[in-house]
Amino acid sequence: MQIETIAQENLAQALALVERVFTQFDAPDYLPEGTVSFRAFLHDPEALALHVFYGAYVEDQLVGVLATRGNSHIALFFVEPCFQRQGVGRALFQAANDACLLDEMTVNSSPYAIEIYKKLGFHALSEEQLKDGIRFTPMKYVRERKPRE
């Protein structure tokens, strides 16, 4: 597996993967307004340009996508179903975490992904919230600081 950043001009394949996986796993938990809001974001070039996209590739096939805003907030995190639970998500997260200049990362997790983020070391900051029809739980990951020698 190879993790690479995805250039803005090559986002179509990544966004198609995001939309497919969202439709299968997240959309059922959202209000109709939420799916419209989410899909509007996927088709907003100005909003997308503010993100760094990471792609996981297996034999040149894109199998996972993670996007960060400000290198510290995860905005999108999706892995093809047949590649879930095989380390793809962890590898994507590690690449984004390595690029993060802060001691913490944040995410507004969908109901489906809460347990996934907990396994990566995130903890909930509050109860579930609802905004624009999108259900989410704010979460944070804090890097362990290495002791000085």
CA 78, CA 19: separation in Å to the nearest integer? 9
Residue that the structure tokens 């805003």 belong to: 69
pLDDT (tens digit per residue) in 91-139: 999 999 999 988 999 999 999 999 999 999 999 999 999 998 899 999 9
Q: Residue 148 has what pLDDT? A: 53
Label residue 146 by pLDDT band (50, 70, 90). low
pLDDT (tens digit per residue) in 22-41: 999 999 988 899 999 999 99
Whole-structure pTM value: 0.92
Q: Residue 145 has what pLDDT? A: 61
Burial of 9 (0-12, 13-18, 19+ CB in 10 A): exposed
Cβ 110 vs Cβ 133: under 8 Å: no
Q: Which domains does the chain have, with CATH numbers?
A: 2-101 (3.40.630.30)
Label residue 57 by pLDDT band (50, 70, 90). very high
Q: Residue 106 has what pLDDT? A: 97
Mean pLDDT of 7-20: 93
Among residues 69, 145, 133, the alpha carbon closest in space to that of 107 is found at 69
Residue 85, CB half-sphere, CA atoms under 13 Å: how many?
3
Percentage of the chain beyond pLDDT 90 is 85
